[in-house]
């Protein structure tokens, strides 16, 4: 399988380990305003990766965190007059329900940052001991000057990195910092913030250290694939690399960095901060989970795209045709052979998870089955292959006659 690595900006062969599972970590949601289409698109991409690897016999250990210690969550809870714990719980439940509706395979590990702080503190202390971090007035900062390769994956110069970091929560005017780009590992809490005890006083962890701690705790010091949305390349993933590698001694921290493109609506990036959201549960209600899943996977995963409701509606017709093809009886004339189609489908996914091409092939095979059945040809084996490929794409196709919940024909199907 070829995968595009954001760090090298090239495709490389992804070699599946033979003596252990594939280790996959994907940055999870901050639990408020879940689950919007941008969330759904990202986690569908990595669901497809897991499905493809498992379809070829690989074992995948998948860790996806919940960032329930973060300023935006606290601010929303204060605005709405609700405890941050209750707001997080409500939104995690919604997120899990929406992922189940989209037939997204649950991660192996689903840790919450708030339950992992006891592991973050020694991680931070080790960075201090190694000379990569310094303390001041209850705060701990990572010194970017100690990492000559800081931000390499972003391909930004210092001024561009600083500007981007400032747009995403960095405070360049913090008087305690040695460098405006230094980032927080631990900070004293603001009034009203939850706090935890630490060697530096009561406070809470920085955002970046949360993921480094959870990734290494659940998957080990080095992982195979680290994923998330493209907007996490800098500063989040750059900071993860900088702080993780000195502690573990494993370089690189991740063999591959995979990033999904962003979803746009009305000319702007769909985001919680802007409030221009389309929620997955509403789209599922209006169009069905299979149609939404097909639509979101019909774009190259690394590219941005603009969400269009009319395009999702058009996808519904394709799902209907696929259901028809899986139900059609056919006849006894020459059997339809979809072997080459199945090989082309597999090759598409093996080429950097080319789901748009895989779906085009699936649509063509759907047409072939319907045409062959109308010509009284034997389509029983073709239907089985079509159902197999639909299952790899994670389509449930509920309502199709003779299908089980995975979309595969039952043994007694007509």
Residues 338-358 have pLDDT tens digits of 999 999 999 999 999 999 999
Report how far apart, in Å, the C-alpha atoms of 369 and of each of 117, 327, 386 are: 55, 10, 9
| pLDDT value of position 414 | 24
Inside any domain, residue 380: yes
Average pLDDT over residues 188-202: 92
| pLDDT value of position 196 | 97
pLDDT digits (tens, 9 = 90+) for 257-314: 999 999 998 777 777 667 778 999 999 999 999 999 999 999 999 999 999 999 999 9
CATH of residue 107's domain is: 3.40.50.620
Range from 30-39, 109-118, 138-147, 394-403 carrying the lowest mean pLDDT = 394-403
Q: What percent of the chain has pLDDT over 70?
A: 95
- 246 and 316 together in one domain: no
- 115 and 227 together in one domain: yes
- 32 and 150 together in one domain: yes
pLDDT digits (tens, 9 = 90+) for 365-383: 999 999 999 999 999 999 9
Report how far apart, in Å, the C-alpha atoms of 102 and of each of 2, 10, 255, 395, 406 are: 26, 30, 29, 9, 12
| pLDDT value of position 271 | 73
Point out the domain boundary residue: 204, 236, 265.
Answer: 265
360 burial (CB, 10 Å; 0-12 / 13-18 / 19+) is: middle
Residue 232's pLDDT band (cuts 50, 70, 90): very high
Inside any domain, residue 214: yes
Inside any domain, residue 298: no
Angle at 255 between CA 104 and CA 245, to 5 degrees: 110
- 133 and 46 together in one domain: yes
| pLDDT value of position 142 | 98
Q: Which residues touch 161 (CB under 8 Å, ≥6 apart)?
A: 151, 154, 181, 234, 235, 238
Which residue range(s) make up the domain with 181? 15-265
pTM of the model: 0.93
Give me the number of domains the chain comprises. 2
């Amino acid at each position: 399988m070829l995968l595009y690595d954001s760090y090298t900006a090239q495709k490389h062969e992804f070699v599946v380990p033979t003596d252990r599972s594939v280790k996959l970590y994907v940055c999870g949601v901050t639990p408020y305003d879940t689950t919007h289409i941008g969330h759904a698109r990202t986690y569908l991409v990595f669901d497809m990766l897991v499905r493809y690897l498992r379809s070829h016999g690989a074992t995948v250990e998948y860790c996806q965190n919940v960032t329930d210690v973060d300023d935006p969550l606290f601010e929303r809870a204060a605005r709405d007059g609700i405890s941050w714990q209750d707001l997080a719980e409500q939104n995690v439940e919604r997120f899990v329900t929406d992922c189940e509706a989209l037939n997204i395979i649950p991660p192996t590990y689903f840790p919450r940052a708030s339950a992992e702080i006891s592991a973050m503190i020694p991680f931070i202390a080790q960075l201090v001991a190694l000379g990569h971090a310094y303390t001041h007035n209850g705060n701990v900062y990572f010194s970017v000057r100690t990492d000559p390769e800081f931000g390499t994956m972003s391909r930004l110069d210092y001024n561009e990195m600083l500007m981007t970091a400032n747009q995403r929560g960095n405070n360049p005017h913090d008087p305690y910092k040695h460098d405006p780009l230094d980032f927080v590992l631990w900070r004293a809490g603001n009034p009203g913030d939850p706090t935890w005890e630490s060697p530096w006083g009561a406070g809470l962890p920085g955002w970046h250290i949360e993921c480094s701690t959870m990734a290494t705790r659940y998957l080990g010091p080095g992982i195979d694939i680290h994923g998330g949305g493209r907007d996490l390349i800098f500063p989040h993933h750059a900071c993860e690399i900088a702080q993780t590698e000195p502690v573990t001694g494993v370089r690189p921290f991740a063999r591959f960095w995979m990033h999904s493109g962003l979803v746009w609506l009305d000319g702007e990036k769909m985001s919680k901060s802007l409030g221009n959201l389309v929620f997955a549960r509403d789209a599922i209600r209006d169009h069905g989970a299979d149609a939404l899943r097909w639509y979101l996977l019909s774009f190259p995963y690394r590219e941005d795209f603009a969400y269009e409701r009319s395009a999702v509606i058009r996808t519904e017709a394709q799902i209907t045709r696929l259901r028809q093809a899986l139900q059609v009886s056919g006849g006894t004339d020459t059997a339809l052979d979809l072997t080459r189609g199945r090989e082309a489908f597999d090759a598409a996914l093996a080429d950097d998870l080319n789901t748009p091409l895989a779906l085009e092939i699936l649509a063509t095979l759907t047409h072939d089955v319907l045409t062959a059945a109308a010509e009284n040809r034997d389509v029983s084996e073709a239907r089985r292959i079509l159902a197999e490929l639909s299952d790899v794409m994670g389509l449930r196709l509920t309502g199709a006659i003779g299908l089980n919940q995975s979309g595969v024909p039952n043994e007694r199907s007509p």
